[in-house]
Structure 1
Amino acid sequence: MRRRDLLDFAILGLLHEGPLHGYELRRRLNDALGAFRALSFGTLYPRLKALLERGWLVEDRSQAAPGKRPRITYALTDSGREHFATLAAQTDPAAWDDEGFDVRLAFFGHTERDVRLRILEGRRSRLEERLDSMRRATYESRERMDTWTTELQRYGEETTEREVRWLSELIEAEHHGTTNRPPASGPEQASSNPPSSPHDQDQ
C-alpha cells in the first residue's frame, strides 16, 4: 500500500508541472525518482486508471495516423491538485524513510516550509539513530571483522554522516529563510573528505 500511494503522489506531482503522455511520465519517473527506476507500464497504467476513476486526472486522446493508437496525454484536474496538496502536507514517518524521502524531496517546491522542516528533521533523526546503531555494531564486532568488512562498515558510517551534515545544512537554511532549493553540494559532497569505498582500495 505504501509504495502504491507513493507512486500516486509522484504521478500527481509530475503532472502538477504540466500534462504528460504515458511514455514521458514513465521516463521521468524512471530517470528522476530513484524509487521507481524499474517501473513498468504494467504498473503505471493501472495507477493512471485508478487516478482517472477518482477524478484526479483527465486524459486527452489526440488524433493519430490511420492504423495507429491515439496518443493519450494526462493532466491534473482541480480535484487532483487539491489531493496532491493534501498529500504534500503530510508529515508521517513514511515521508522520511529511505524510499519516501527522495520522492517527497523531489516535490519540495510544492511543499510548505514548516512541512519541509518537519520532514528534513525527521529524516535527520532517523539517520542519527541508524548511525548510532551502526557504530554500536562495529564496536561490538570489531574483533571478528576482516579488513573488507571493516571498510564496508566505515564506508556506510561515513556516507550516513555526510547525509546528516547535508540535512543539517538544509535545515539551517530553512530556519534562516535563505534558500528555496537544496544547496548545490548535495549529500554526496557535504564533506571535503569523502570516504573511500571498498572498491577504491583496488585502484
Structure 2
Amino acid sequence: MSKRSELLDFALLGLLHDGPTHGYELRRRLNEALGAFRALSYGTLYPALSGLLDRGLIAQQPSSVPPALRPGSAPSGRSPGRNRIVYEITIAGKEAFEEAARRTDTAAYDDDGFGVRLAFFARTEADVRMRILEGRRSRVQEQLETVRRNAGRGRERLDSWTAALQRHGEESTEREVRWLTELIDAERRHPTDPGPQP
C-alpha cells in the first residue's frame, strides 16, 4: 500500500469517527478540510472505501435520501427517494485509526501527511502530537536552511520577479517555523487542552 493510500485510509477513518456519512459528504469534507485531498476524485475515493470494507474497518448501510436533497430535483413529496450508501466505522476501524494515530514515521512530517495528521490531533495522544510537531519543525527548518543557502548563491544574477519569488518562499517557510514553535510551546504549557484557540 502506498503512503498516499495509507493517508487516505487514515483520513477516512478519522472522518467516520464523527458519525456515519455517505461518499459524497466524505469527498466534500476531504476536499474542503484536508488540503492533501483537494482534488480527490470518486475514482479514488470509492476503491479506498471498498478496501476499508474488505478489511472490516468500516461497514455500510443504505439510507433513503429524500427527493428534496437530491441534486437537481425539485421537492415533490411523492417519490420515496433513492438509496444512498452510508458508511460507518467499526470497532476494528476505530482500533486501526488509533494505532495509525500513534505512529510517528517520517510521513507524519511531510507536507501532505502533516496536514492530515494535524486535522485529527484532537484524537491523538499528547506525546505523539509533540513528536509530530517537533519532527515537522525540524523538517521545515532544514528546508529553510536550504532556501537560504540557495538564495545566497547567485541572487545578483536573478531578475526582480524571480528574486521576489525566492523571498516569498523564504518568508513563508520562516512563518511556518514560527507557527510550529507556537504550537509546540502551547502543547508544552497545556498538553490536555483540545488545541490552540482559533
| Cα separation, 1, equivalents of 2:123 and 2:194 | 11
| Conserved 8 A contact 2:64-2:81 | no
1:70 partner SS: strand
| Cα separation, 1, equivalents of 2:155 and 2:33 | 38
Matched pairs, number: 184
Superposition RMSD in Å: 1.6
Q: CA-to-partner distance for each residue in 1:129-163, whole Å, 9 max, x for gaps?
A: 00000000011121211111111111111111011
Percentage of matched positions with identical amino acids = 60
Deviation at 1:68, TM superposition (A): 6.6
2:53 partner SS: helix
Deviation at 1:51, TM superposition (A): 0.2
Tell me the residue number matched to 1:200: none
Deviates more, 1:56-65 or 1:165-174: 56-65
1:58 partner SS: strand
Q: CA-to-partner distance for each residue in 1:97-148, whole Å, 9 max, x for gaps?
A: 1110000000000000000000000010001000000000011121211111
| Conserved 8 A contact 2:27-2:40 | yes
| Conserved 8 A contact 1:21-1:71 | yes
| Cα separation, 2, equivalents of 1:141 and 1:120 | 33
The unaligned stretches of length 5 or more in structure 1 are 185-203
Task: Give the structure-2-normalised TM-score.
Answer: 0.88
**Which consecutive segments of 4 or more residues in structure 1 shift more than 4 A?**
63-69
Greater relative contact order (Cα 8 A, min sep 6): structure 1 or 2?
2
| Cα separation, 1, equivalents of 2:63 and 2:138 | 48
Q: CA-to-partner distance for each residue in 1:35-88, whole Å, 9 max, x for gaps?
A: 111111111001101100100001011346879752111001000000000000
Tell me the residue number matched to 1:48: 49
Aligned AA (1:4): S
Aligned AA (2:150): A
Deviation at 1:183, TM superposition (A): 4.0
Q: CA-to-partner distance for each residue in 1:146-184, whole Å, 9 max, x for gaps?
A: 111111111111111011001001101111116421343
158, 178, 188: which is aligned to 1:175?
188
2:179 partner SS: helix
Matching of residues 1-203 of structure 1 within 5 Å: 1-63=2-64, 69-177=82-190, 179-184=193-198
Deviation at 1:5, TM superposition (A): 0.7
| Conserved 8 A contact 2:20-2:89 | yes
2:39 partner SS: coil
Aligned AA (1:120): L
| Conserved 8 A contact 1:124-1:164 | yes
| Cα separation, 1, equivalents of 2:18 and 2:83 | 23
The unaligned stretches of length 5 or more in structure 2 are 68-78
Task: Give the structure-1-normalised TM-score.
Answer: 0.86
| Conserved 8 A contact 2:58-2:89 | yes
| Conserved 8 A contact 2:155-2:163 | yes
Aligned AA (2:166): Q
Aligned AA (2:42): F
Aligned AA (2:129): R
